Amino acid sequence: MLDTHARKYVEPLIVRTAKLLLKYKLTANQVTVLAFLIGSLSGLFVYVGQPILAVIVLWISGFLDAVDGSMARLTKTSEFGTVLDVSFDRIVEISVIIGLALAFPEITFALLLLSVAIIVSMTIFLTVGAVSEKKGMKSFYYQAGVAERTEGFLLFSLIILLPSMMYFLTILFAGLVIFTAIQRLLEAKKILS
């Protein structure tokens, strides 16, 4: 929801950063890899008991993830870049989930439910994107939903920073992702029928 409706407020900063990185001869795919490497540290920082660092690198990664897309649109998008971007986004999320599961085994069941919800939602999202002829600003059809990447980062941040509420927040996160999956499935029925 925020990725779709609030991006216009941060878009000028994203585009300025994209132009700056292009000026320094970086490619969109290089920034995708950088975002992946930085974001993957988040799970490690959770595991070693550095929650503030975990949240900081998670958000830097998310910002660079937005920047790489702008860089691609300012130059030339590539299908391989799209594959890298979507795949690395999931690995960053997996790193956070694994870090949380190792550091807080008492919430492993809730994290398992969250993982299943993400798998289901992403399966619908990617399948609709693959079979839909609609194209948007991205290189594939992007279905908006209640729980997009920014909402995920907000909830991961709260889970990391509020240990006493971890279980509840993880279940809430899983519920929002499932709601989004249902929302996307219903939209798919409309646009693909």
* pLDDT tens-digit readout, 133-168: 665 555 556 677 878 889 999 999 999 999 999 999
Q: How far apart are CA 146 and CA 3, in angstroms?
A: 10
| Domains identified in the chain, total number | 1
CB-based contact 82:139 (threshold 8 Å)? yes
3-state percent helix, strand, coil for the chain, nearest multiple of 5: 85, 0, 15
**What CATH number is attached to the domain comprising 178?**
1.20.120.1760
pLDDT in tens, 117-131: 999 999 998 888 888
Residue 27: give the domain boundaries.
2-192
What pLDDT was estimated at residue 7?
78
What pLDDT was estimated at residue 18?
97
User: CB-based contacts of 23: which residues, under 8 Å, 6+ apart?
Assistant: none
Residues in the chain, overall count: 193
Active site includes 89?
yes
Residues of the chain with pLDDT under 70: 1-5, 133-142
